[in-house]
Chains A and B, each alone.
Chain A
Amino acid sequence: MKIEKILLAGNPNVGKSAIFSRLTGAKVMISNYPGTTVEFTQGNMKLGDENVMIIDVPGTYTLEPTCKAEDVACRMVKEGGLVINIIDATNLERNLYLTLELLEKDIPVIVALNMWDDTKHRGIHIDIKKLEEQLGVPVVSTCCLTGEGIKELINRLPEAKALKATVYSDGQKWERIGRIIEEVQRLTHRHHTLLEILEDLSIKPLTGLPIALGVIYCAFWIVRFIGENLIGYIFQPLFTRLWLPLMMKLSVLLREGTFLHHIVIGNLIDGKIDFGQSFGILTTGLFLPIAMILPYIFSFYLILGVLEDLGYLPRLAVLADNLMHHLGLHGYAIIPFILGLGCNVPGALATRVLEERREKFIAATLMAIAIPCMAQIAMIVGIVGQRGGKYVAIVFGTLFFLLIIKGLILNKILKGVSPEILVEIPPYRMPQATAVIKKLWMRLSGFLREALPFVLLGVFFVNILYALKVIDFFTYIFSPILTNLWGLPQEAIGALIVGFLRKDVAVGMLGLLNLTTKQLVIGSTILAVYFPCIATFVVLIRELGVKDMLKATLIMVVVALSVGTMLNLFLS
């Protein structure tokens, strides 16, 4: 038999992506919560002389999908190929349901008993030989932390068998699973570990809520601490000591006043380059993403990675469930929100774990309006922060307030009710330094690859905009709104236009306009809410459909108009 395509199928959070990464060497997101993978990822593996395509799919409990992520998984299985059914060996019974479903299909199956290392601490003994006999397909134990069993899994791929077993009812399946478990699994007594005691404490409300507040507070504190110090002690000095002299030489070479100088170096402020204000591609264009934003992206994803791998996010979701219900969501919608704080694009994708359309719509709209991404946060902290921490607090406070109000309203006016949370809470796992660093690196390089070009483009665009006087046209149309409703100067239109492309560059542009503190606060708040950046917009169209996205856009415009006006009236 020739193997052409291999699918990794299994319940959520059993280590499919971890096995995928072991088999292909490709980098994918691996985190300790169900619903990490929401889209399929392709990779390649050498099998003998052949190149085989491997596909990592979202986790699913059954072949009857209940949300978009599961739907992706089920469709992939229908398309066929060899299936490696990955099972969490510490939850054999539950996992076997999907296995039996898979065995009924006409596709070759091989079973990987993953998390094999964990069975030892948990006092679980599984007789692999017997399990193999019972199922009728090969079973291999694997551990992704050490790579144990992966070789054997690869070697035994050709033994995978398509049983096309008789289709049984659910009841019969569970009976059969009961018999299999009886036969192959033995449990021994063991003591609770420290991590398990922490698991209990962090999910019980009386201890869990204070812990959650503590964790969130510490997380923000650490993100800020690392971000600020990286900027202050490393990136800013690097730019001023090493890059500035080079740029000054280049400036002389290009001669101030020429078009090229304008694009590359930008304006000289009192005869000098100012990295925040010059707005040339090689000055502000590089300084902004690397010295102002990257440090915060680094510290945010470092902390997020640790929390993800520990398995804290689902617990936070449970604690937030009550509040989220008032917004028309359930607790698990906090996952897209948290990911959205890093970048709205993965946040928008993560709404796929939500079951219903209404819920997805609310979550996506709320995120696009009220959850600024880390690049934008860094810029707001950097620019509004110069006027005082209080004003940064006003911007974020307003956004949070909007999140709540908008959720309450949408929940009231949209037909339907929010579905209830139903989610598996994974055990705490000690985050592994190498895994955390790998993931951090993936995200950082993702930022440099995908965001940096857009930032440069944005800065370039700013210059073109002014050079071609396109801006005058927009100024003419929108100045009534800008000046009368929001109290902003006409020139702020440039920032709003660039904001479609990159919000961070747009906030940077506000810094050029000599705004009053009040105007700066209003401007950065409006930039956050009026529209998602283009990258998020494209993903949202795909996820919500054109019609819902139009609705969402309308909501955003209304919110931007009213919030801007409100702030203008009430701030002094």
Chain B
Amino acid sequence: MIIDLTQMQPGEIGAIVEIHGGQGMIKRLQSMGIRPGKKIAKVSSHFWRGPQTVEIGNMQVTVGFGMAKRILVEVKR
């Protein structure tokens, strides 16, 4: 099932399928290692449309809510 990053539960694991957004944003995310095909685990999500922290590879990254909405992830539910 495909959901966006904000809908993942903390602890849930998935794989990025697609990132919507402008070239600039996609490039920036990519260069940090956030790109389609990567395994991703949700670490935490903050209240009130707050930032979302994920783990990719060995690294934790925090992504703002709006950006996280544009990252689509395939999860098993």
Contacts and interface: CB of A to CB of B under 8 A. Distances in A.
Interface in A411-444: 419-425, 427
B62 A423 contact: yes
A98 B57 CA distance: 17
B50 to A, nearest CB: 5
A484 interface: no
A517 B49 CA distance: 44
Interface stretch (B1-9, B12-20, B31-39): B31-39
B31 A61 contact: yes
B75 interface: no
For the residues of B in contact with A, the DSSP-based class is mixed
A205 B62 CA distance: 13
Given A62-B27, A91-B33, A422-B67, A321 B46 contact: yes
Contacts of A90: 58
Nearest to B63: A422
Interface string A287-325: 000000000000000000000000000100111011000
Interface string B47-73: 110110100011111111111000000
Nearest to B29: A422
A113 to B, nearest CB: 14
A427 B60 CA distance: 8
Contacts of B10: 204
Contact of A64 (B27, B29, B32, B46): B27
B61 A318 contact: no
A66 interface: yes
B30 A322 contact: no
Contact of B44 (A97, A204, A419, A422): A204
Contacts of A174: 30, 35
Which of A91, A330, A420 counts the most chain B CB atoms within 10 A? Answer: A420
A155 to B, nearest CB: 29
A338 interface: no
Contacts of A330: 64
A122 B35 CA distance: 23
Interface string A71-103: 000000000000000000011011001100000
B32 A318 contact: no
A93 B47 contact: no
A422 B46 contact: no
A411 to B, nearest CB: 16
A509 to B, nearest CB: 44
A314 B53 CA distance: 12
A98 B27 CA distance: 12
A420 B48 contact: no
Contacts of B28: 61-62, 66, 422
Contacts of B59: 91, 94, 424-425
A281 to B, nearest CB: 49
A210 to B, nearest CB: 14
B58 A91 contact: yes
A416 B75 CA distance: 35
Contacts of A204: 10, 43-44
- Would you list the 3 A-B pairs with minimal beta carbon distance, nearest first? A420-B64, A94-B33, A61-B31
6 contacts: A61-B32, A66-B28, A200-B43, A331-B51, A420-B51, A422-B32
Interface of B: 10, 24, 27-33, 35, 43-48, 50-51, 53, 57-67
